[in-house]
Structure 1
Amino acid sequence: MVFAPDTEVALRSVVNLINTAANGQEHLATVEDLDGFLAAEGFTGSRTWDQAELESIRRLRGELAELWVAEEAAAAETVNRLLREARALPQLVKHHPWDWHLHATTPEAPLADRMSTEAAMAIVDVIRSKEMDRLLVCAAEDCDAVVLDLSRNRSKRYCDTGNCANRAHVAAYRARKAVS
C-alpha cells in the first residue's frame, strides 16, 4: 500500500470522476448519471438532485483534471484553494464500512465541497509523500484518461477505461512479428 486506505479510495474516485469525460465522451450528462456515479463511488450526504449540482461537479471535474497533471507547487496551491473554499476542518470519523479516517466537511455540506475536499485531502498526501509521479495520463496515443499508479514498481501506464493496455500490447506484438 502506497497511501492510507481512505486516501487510495479518494484518489480512485478522483480518477473515476475525471474519466467520466475521457476521450470526448460525457458520462455525467444527466442528474441520473451523477446519481449512478455517486452510488458506485459510495458518496453519501446531502444532495440537491438538480442541474446546478451536476454543473458544480462537472466544474470540479475540470479542476481536478488540471490538478492531476499540475506541477507540485501549482498542485499545492490548488489543493489549498479547494480546502479554503470548502472551509475544510479535518476530523477523524468512523462510519460503516470504514474504520477511523479523515473527513474535512460535514455530511450537510454541498456535494461539490465534499467531493473537492476529499480529493484535496488525498492529493495532500500525494504531495507530502513526493509521489506526484503516480498521477498519470494514459500512455495510449489515442486516450486522454487519467491513471493512478499504485503499483510497487511504478509500472502502470494505461487507464482502466477501455482496452488501452491490450491494444498497445497487441500492436507491439504485431510490430515485432512484422520485423521477424
Structure 2
Amino acid sequence: MYIDFSDYSRGAVVATDLVNTSPIVRAAGDAVADAAALDAFLTAHDIQRDTNGTELAQIHALRDEVRAVLETETQADAVAGANALVEKAARGPLLRQDGNGQWHWLVATAPEAPLADELAVLMGTGLLGTLRSLGFARFRPCASPVCAGVFVDTSKAGRRRYCMPDVCGNRVNVANHRARKRQES
C-alpha cells in the first residue's frame, strides 16, 4: 500500500470512522463484526484489499489503539501513539509521480503486511498530518451527551462537534426542537 503524505485528512477520516464502529459508540453493536462488514468498511473508504475474516481480531485491537491515541491528554502522547501506528509497517518515504506528472511524497508499507498494520500506517500518517497541520485541539469527543464517540476534525473551519453529524447531531437537534415545542405548549 502507498499512502500519500499530502492527503492526511483521508487517514484521519478512516481513523474516526473505524473508532466509531465500536459497540462502545453504536447502540446497535459492532459495525465491523464480521468479514462482510469489514469489506464494506474498506470499500466505503476506497481501500482495495482482499480479506478473509481472520483479520477481525487485529482490526478490533487496532480500533482500540487508535481510540487511545484520540483520547490522549497531551499532544506529545498523541504524536507518540500515532508514530507507533506508522511504525507497524511503514518502510519510509518515497517520491512518486502520478499520472498528471505531479510528484507526491508517499509512505510505502512492507510487502505482505497484515491489513491491520497497513491501516495503522494510513491512520497514523493521517493523525500525524492533522497534528502538524491543524493541531491537537482537533482530536475531540462527541458533543452529544448520549454518545461515547471520538473524532478528528479535519474541517476547514474546525467547528465540527459530533463524531457522526448525521446521527449524533441530528439526535441533538431533534431533542432540542422537541424541548422548544414542549415549552411553547
Does TM, normalized by the shorter one, top 0.5? yes
What secondary structure, in the 3-state scheme, does the structure 2 residue paired with 1:92 have?
A: strand
Q: Between Structure 1 and Structure 2, how many residues are aligned?
A: 174
Describe the SS at the equivalent of 1:102: strand
Note the 1:1-180 alignment, pairs <5 A: 6-21=7-22, 22-24=25-27, 25-45=29-49, 47=50, 49-51=52-54, 53-70=55-72, 71-93=74-96, 100=104, 102-106=106-110, 108-129=112-133, 131-160=135-164, 162-176=166-180
CA shift, 1:160, in A, is 2.1
Give the C-alpha shift of residue 42 in structure 1.
Answer: 1.3
Query: Take 1:84 and 1:166, find their aligned partners in 2: how far apart are those partners?
Result: 38
CA deviation string 1:12-60 (max 9, x = no partner)? 1111111111234201111121111111111124x45132x11111110
Identity in percent? 32
Q: Is the 8 A contact 1:82 1:120 kept in 2?
A: yes
Over 3 Å counting, the alpha-carbon distance change for 1:167 and 1:32 in structure 2 is: closer
Q: 1:48 to 1:105 in 2, by over 3 A?
A: same
- Relative to the length of structure 1, the TM-score reads 0.80
Distance, in Å, in 2 between the alignment partners of 1:63 and 1:95 is 32
For 1:131 and 1:75, the matched residues in 2 are separated by 11
The answer (yes or no) to whether the contact 1:134–1:149 under 8 Å persists in 2 is yes
Q: CA deviation at 1:168?
A: 1.7
Q: Give per-residue Cα distances to partners, 1:103-135, cap 9 Å, x unaligned.
A: 331463221111001111111112223512112
Paired with 1:36 and 1:107, the residues of 2 have a C-alpha distance of 24
More helix by share: 1
Contact 1:145-1:161 at 8 Å conserved across structures: no
More off after superposition, 103-112 vs 56-65:
103-112
Q: What TM-score does the superposition give when structure 2 sets the normalisation length?
A: 0.79
Deviation at 1:170, TM superposition (A): 3.2
Match for 1:40: what amino acid? A
Q: Secondary structure at the match of 1:85?
A: coil
